[in-house]
Amino acid sequence: MFLSLAITRRKLILALAVGAVLLLMLATPLLDLPERLAQAVNPTERLVPIYYVDTNEKKVAFSFDASWGAERTEEILSILRNNDIKTTFFLTGFWVSEYPELVKLIVKEGHEIGNHTATHPHLASLTLEQIKEEIKNVEEMIHQAAGVRTTLFRPPFGEYSNEVIKAATELGYKTIQWSIDSLDWQNLTAPEITERVTSRSHKGAIILFHNNGLHTAEALPEIIKYYREHKYEILPVSELIYQEDYYIDPHSGAQIKKKKSKNN
């Protein structure tokens, strides 16, 4: 009986301790509770990119990765210009080196430039300093070509790790993924690309295209028409995402605005 009472007492003490911790977290308005709970459950922080923005506003961002070829880029730029749309182009170093005039044209057209590494490597195989060199090298190439600095980073192949995001963050970058993949790089037909991108539409989406997808330019007008008809605003990535006071859900990659405390 004494042993039974001792066990019951230990359980009671443990329950009271857990309750006290939860009450302390609830009573602390300085940080968002979901973020604090995630850290409490998983003290080893898992870093993730921004996949999409948690928002009630009907806004999406179009983004184009440029890693190979350029023969369809001017047609894409023309379509965007005719529809008065600004987007984000993530450029690799070897693409910048081969097509410096197109880099200038993209900037002249009012689009945002993002960093997609110098050589498009598998970053997980590199050291922290090697990752930083990949980012810094293309940043300097873009600056020399078009006079702009990059602040958004997209890892090649969508592959990332804590080390990759840490390297980008230490260089002042936000790491950007996507929530809708057009799969235009698989040479889908224009109707197939359109169906993928429109059927998966949601508020705060970041949409992935490629500057030289075989049927990307053909699909764009219908995609734009769909989003316009459904009252979505199409923006560059930096105008969609939050610049401060946010956290990223470690499971979904949603960028979530922190709630203001009652004392503010």
Helix (H) or strand (E) holding 114: strand 112-115
- Cα gap 76→232, rounded to integer Å: 20
The percent of residues above 70 in pLDDT, for the chain, comes to: 82
The pTM score is 0.82
- Which residues are tagged catalytic? 65, 210
Domain spans in the chain, listed from the N-terminal domain onward? 2-46, 52-256
Q: Is the pLDDT of residue 162 over 50?
A: yes
Q: Is the pLDDT of residue 42 over 60?
A: no
191 alpha carbon, distance to own chain's centre: 26
Question: What's the token pair of residue 60?
Answer: 């999406």
Q: How far, CA to CA in Å, does 71 sit from each of 100, 189, 198?
A: 14, 18, 25
Q: What 3-state DSSP class applies to 158?
A: helix
Closest of 176, 181, 214 to residue 199, by C-alpha? 181
Mind listing the pLDDT tens digit for each residue in 166-191? Answer: 999 999 999 999 999 999 999 999 99
Q: What 3-state DSSP class applies to 63?
A: strand
Banded pLDDT at 29 (limits 50, 70, 90): very low
Size (the chain), residues: 264
- Cα gap 151→173, rounded to integer Å: 5
Given this model, what pLDDT does residue 32 score?
43
- Cα gap 215→219, rounded to integer Å: 6
User: Listing from the earlier edge strand, what are the strands of the sheet with 52-53?
Assistant: 52-53, 254-257, 246-248
Given this model, what pLDDT does residue 21 score?
40
Mind listing the pLDDT tens digit for each residue in 195-239? Answer: 999 999 999 999 999 999 999 999 999 999 999 999 999 999 999
Q: Is the pLDDT of residue 34 over 50?
A: no
3-state secondary structure 161-173: CHHHHHHHHHCCC
CATH code assigned to 52-256: 3.20.20.370
Banded pLDDT at 1 (limits 50, 70, 90): very low
